[in-house]
Structures are given as C-alpha cells and as structure tokens.
Structure 1
C-alpha cells in the first residue's frame, strides 16, 4: 500500500456562481406560517391553573418519555393516518 501525502485542497469545488450575493438572497427570503382554523380553535381552550400545573408536573417527571405513553401516541397517530 502506498500513501501519497495529505493535501489541504477540497475534494469538491462548487464552480457555479450565484446570481445574487449571499446578503441579497437573505433579504428576499421571508418566513411564512399558515395556521388552520382547527388549530386556532384549539388555541382558544382555557386551561385551569390546576390542570396546567398537572401538565407541568408530568413534563418535569418525564411522564411523556415512558414507553407506554409513546406507544399510545404512536398507535393514535397510525390510526389517524389510516383513516
């Protein structure tokens, strides 16, 4: 086996030029979000302070990381996809 030195040159060089400088391309980019009416309705649901505290405690105790919960979520997602 023969090793022929190490080089600092890149293996692949992109020889195409962009028509706009990078700064100009970033100015044209705009973020856009679309929220469905169903999601808007869900956002209006008021949670009682007790329910909110219960949810916080579940998150803090890693309740949602258990295999049982993750399997239930996966089953419901699959059932929804199959509809």
Structure 2
C-alpha cells in the first residue's frame, strides 16, 4: 500500500542525513520509525486497557495487594527466587 506523508524540508533533510549515515534509504528510515512508533503506541494502549480492567475489577471486588507486598514479591523475583504472586485481599 502506497501512502504519502508531507514532511517539512528540515525533517526531510534530517531523515536523508540519517539514511546516508546508516547506508539505508530514506524510505527504510521512515518505515522503521513508523513501525517502532506503532509498536510502542500499541503497547501503551494495551497497558492502559489492562490498567482500566484492573481498576474496574478493584472497584467491583476490592481485591488488591499493597505496595509493600508487591515490592517484596518483585524483589524476590529479581533475586531469582521462584515465587508465586501473593494472594490478593480486601
């Protein structure tokens, strides 16, 4: 699918300079930049939706972990311990 994007001269020149430095085409640089942006924004949207679902679940049932409980669990994971997620409580 061909798509055109209007860019100002400064940005065009920056892309061209980067393409030359990387021994790539301007098209490749723009395609990679758009792909990276879309992937990052998809992850951000997914995180946002996860947070909204968690908030809705909390409002419904009140189950949660405290910050201290979550931090202690994460510290154990970082240390390489094979620990399960603590039980949520009201």
Normalized against structure 1, the TM-score is what? 0.26
- Higher relative contact order, chain-length normalized (CA < 8 Å, sep 6+): 2
Question: Which structure is higher in helix share?
Answer: 2
